[in-house]
A and B are shown apart, each in its own frame.
Chain A
Amino acid sequence: MRPRLHILFAMLPGAVLAAQQRAAAPPAAAVLEQQFLEAQRAWNEALRRTEDAAAVAELRQRRPEAAFVPRFEAGAQAFAGTAAAVPYLVWIVAHDSQDAAFAAMSTLMQEHVADPGIGRAVARIGGLHHVFGPERSRAWLDRVFERNEDAAVLHQAHYTRAAMYVGTRAVERSEPLRQLAITDLGVVLAAAESDSLRKLAKGLLHEAQVLEPGLPAPDITGEDLDGVPFRLADYKGKVVLLDFWGDW
């Protein structure tokens, strides 16, 4: 019977370690997110109250995201390899726009591509193509289409793919890609449950159909800033830079 005692003692350090890990468990992703939103509100408020240009510039250097990225990374690390890591990784992709986002997105695509919780990260693929690279962005989307079965994630992937090929942030344009985008957006409009995603898809589909390079510009009829009516078509024969601007 004596050897068993040894086994018991041998197990003790492991049990202590496990208890320590439980004690040091990271805050739940939802709790961290709540803390981040509070920090963001405080930061926005400070920005609103600050008038001195140098102080404003300094505040802008200290965005609340920077302090929270390491905390979400610690959470992802603590739950590495399990589904519990997903919300931490997704938050990083949604809020960082450099190396941390790239690392988190790579982990999501390697280890959690079938997870139903990756929709918000998939939404960022197109917008972060300058960080991810267009080739990798395309490969990741293909992988999502192949491996993920969640309807909301797939609808997001259809929208994201369309936004890579039409609209003001497109990475590449051609007639076949425009047609692919129109098909993708049709899928979203027909089946997506999210009203906000359907609304985005409706706007982008309109762009794909009438506002892409190679198509005739729609006319604009309106008034100038002095109230004098005029039309965009008045400028036919000239190269026009149409500039949507605001003094803010």
Chain B
Amino acid sequence: MYPHERSLVEELKHEPFALIGVNSDRDRDGLRPRLAEEHITWRSFWNGPEGTAGPISAEWNVSGWPTVYVIDHEGVIRHKGHGGPGLDEVLRQCLARAGAAADRGGK
């Protein structure tokens, strides 16, 4: 999924958008060179030393990786899934609504 994530971050760098990861690798230090290799520039929560059994994925009932959620500018969940083809369209719709809200706020 890295190439898709990298291109989203690049394409949407001027939009009100943030890619936030929840990383479930047990070894946080071992991951550091991989971040550089794969150009993983986005910020991630760390799920802790228990890896996939960590507290954040447990609270979100995540049992398959990758799992993605789209949360709109008001903090409301708009989509959940495993990164299928519908994801980009949902993001576009949410960004359009966020943009419209920002325009209204500016007037």
- Taking beta carbons and an 8 Å cutoff, which residues of A are in contact with B? 167-169, 203-204, 206-207, 211-218, 220, 222-225, 230, 232-233, 235-248
Contact = CB atoms under 8 A, between A and B. Distances in A.
Given A168-B67, A203-B61, A225-B23, A245 B1 contact: yes
Contact of B94 (A235, A239, A242): A239
B99 to A, nearest CB: 10
A240 B70 contact: yes
Contact of B31 (A214, A225, A242): A225
A243 B66 contact: yes
A241 B17 contact: yes
B91 to A, nearest CB: 7
25 contacts: A168-B64, A168-B82, A169-B81, A211-B61, A212-B77, A213-B79, A216-B76, A218-B60, A220-B56, A225-B23, A225-B31, A230-B43, A230-B45, A236-B73, A236-B74, A240-B20, A241-B8, A241-B18, A242-B70, A242-B71, A244-B22, A244-B67, A245-B23, A245-B24, A248-B65
B50 interface: no
Contacts of A168: 64, 67, 80-82
Contacts of A169: 81-82
Contact of B77 (A214, A222, A236, A244): A214
Query: Which of A212, A233, A241: most chain B Cβ within 10 A?
Result: A241
A248 B69 CA distance: 20
Nearest to B54: A222
Contacts of B82: 168-169
B70 A241 contact: yes
Given A215-B77, A247-B31, A239 B23 contact: no
Contacts of B32: 225
Contact of B56 (A213, A222, A237, A243): A222
Contact of B98 (A224, A238, A245): A238
B52 A214 contact: no
Contacts of B56: 220, 222
Nearest to A215: B77
A163 to B, nearest CB: 11
